[in-house]
Each structure stands twice: as structure tokens, then as C-alpha cells.
Amino acid sequence: MKKALSLVVVTIALLAASSLFAASPDTARYSVTMTRLWTEKTHPFEYPEGNILTGPHFSGFIGATHNGAYEIFKEGTKPTPGLEKLSEEGKHSPLDEEIKAAIAGGKAGMLFETGPIRDASKTEMAEVTVSNKFPWVSVVAMIAPSPDWFAGAADINLIEGGKWVGSKSIDLFAYDSGGDDGATYKADDKNTSPKKPTMSAKTQHFLRGGKKVRVGTLTFTKM
């Protein structure tokens, strides 16, 4: 009798576990579409001149899936050398090495990268796999030209109500990495030393009527 009861208990436990698993799988795969909404029309103040080949653009995006032990950037925190380089030159290295070190250290799940957006009517795309262990996504791209300004979003959460969301759109806003003191798009290099904390970009370039104007979007679609 006791044996039969424990068998029932075990069976119920297994069923409960499998239905939990079905309701919320460990991993989910998303396609991510990046758009650039930073143009002369949306951000007219001192918008930099140049044609589609040499002019204003977003560098390639670089991002990671991660947990609470890692961040690519955080407002109020000084930039890593990788974030500083990305924000000033659009280069993915050494930020990619920092993300790889976070992966090796069990703080990040994967690294993803895209090409630049030179033509604002075009989009870039990446595929990301999130997991219960690394549920968050952070991503950055340089706003170029600029002293140290980047488009970014941090700690995007794709779990809602205990489930992976089917789709989600996020606005990208401009940040100042704190690595250069230049105050205009085409300012000469003026290295900030010691570094300042990364902050939301609060210059005229990114405001309208005192409000931040988004510079792009990210759209996650579950595959």
C-alpha cells in the first residue's frame, strides 16, 4: 500500500514537472530586428552632414544574453574599456572579449553582432537564444559620428507572466558612455580621464521639448 502510494506521488510529481516544462521551456529563440530612427528629420539639431557611405550611421550592434551578474552598460557606472571603444569608434573589440570573458565566467550566455546601419530605411537582424539561466538581453551600437554616444538598451526581459513573450518591441535611446568630453557630433577627441559614469544623453541633440527622442527600436519575435 505504501509502495503504491509513493508510486502515485512520484507519477504526479513527474507529470507536474513535465507540464511545468511544457509551459515554460528552458530556452527560447528570437529573431531581433534593429531599426535606426536617428535621422535629420527626427534629430535635426546639428545633425551631421555626409552621404550614405561617409555620413551618419549606427555601427554594427553588439549584444549579449546574460544574468544579473553582468552588464554591458549601466547608468551611473563608469564604462568598461570595451564600451568606451564601441561608443567612440564603433569597434566591437575589446567589448566582444569582455562578453566572451563573461560567458566563460558563467555570467553571459551568448554574444551576437550585426553589421552597421548606414541607410536608415534598412534594418539589421540577429538571432538570440535566451535561457532561464541567461534571460536578459543587452545591446549597444555607436551613434556615429559622435564623441562617445551610443544607442542602447539594457536588461531587456523576455519573460512575462512566467512565459517567454511572443514578441516585444523596445525603444533604443542615446547614452553618453563617459569616455570623451566632446559635446558635438564632430568634436575633436577629448579623452575623459578619469572616466565619468555612463548617463542618458541629455544634450539638445537627443531632446525635443525637453523629452528624450528615441533613436531606434529593437523588435524581438519568437521563432
Residues lying near Ca ion in the complex (CB under 5 A): 148, 176, 179-180, 191
Where residue 124 falls (left for φ over 0; alpha for ψ -120 to 50; beta otherwise) is: beta
Residue 56 vs 179, nearer CB to Ca ion: 179
**SS3 state at 131:** strand
Residues 6+ apart with CB under 8 A from 75: 175, 197, 198, 199, 200
State the nearest-atom distance from the C-beta of 21 to Ca ion, in Å.
47
State the nearest-atom distance from the C-beta of 92 to Ca ion, in Å.
16
Closest CA to 116 of 173, 191, 58: 58
Residue 134 vs 175, nearer CB to Ca ion: 175
Residue 136 vs 206, nearer CB to Ca ion: 206
Grid coordinates representing 150 are: 551610443
Determine phi and psi for 108, rounding to 5 degrees. Answer: -135, 155
State the nearest-atom distance from the C-beta of 147 to Ca ion, in Å.
5
Residue 66 vs 92, nearer CB to Ca ion: 92
Q: Which residues pair with 28 in a beta bridge?
A: 130
Residue 71 vs 176, nearer CB to Ca ion: 176
Residue 60 vs 179, nearer CB to Ca ion: 179
State the nearest-atom distance from the C-beta of 82 to Ca ion, in Å.
12
State the nearest-atom distance from the C-beta of 177 to Ca ion, in Å.
7
- Between the alpha carbon of residue 186 and those of residues 47, 55, 80, 195, the distances in Å are 10, 11, 23, 20
- Rg over CA atoms, the chain: 21
The CB-nearest residue to Ca ion is: 179
**Helix-, strand-, coil-residue percentages of the chain, each rounded to 5:** 20, 35, 45
**SS3 state at 182:** coil
State the nearest-atom distance from the C-beta of 88 to Ca ion, in Å.
5
